Amino acid sequence: MNTNIEHTHQSRKRSERITGPHAGYDKYGRLDHYYWRCERCGLEVTTSKLARGCWRCATEDDA
């Protein structure tokens, strides 16, 4: 049971580092896309999968 609690705590820590969605604009200033950013490592992606946690930082946390 402690493992589940620890896993939930780690997931919460990871998701707190994720910001977004942020608006992305084209060279003419028009809304072009939305993106999410990991504030810890700077990874930016246009898919909301990052909202579940940064896979780049997860690898560093596990090491």
pLDDT in tens, 18-43: 999 999 999 999 999 999 999 999 99
Residue 1, pLDDT score: 47
Cα gap 3→23, rounded to integer Å = 37
Residue 15, pLDDT score: 52
Residue 57, pLDDT score: 87
In a 3-state reduction of DSSP, which class is residue 4? helix
For residues 26 and 32, the answer to whether their CB atoms sit within 8 Å is: yes
For the chain, give the percent of residues with pLDDT over 90: 48
Bond before 21 cis per omega within 30 degrees: yes
For residues 3 and 11, the answer to whether their CB atoms sit within 8 Å is: no
- Between 47 and 16, the more confident residue is 47
Q: Spell out the domain ranges in the chain.
A: 2-62
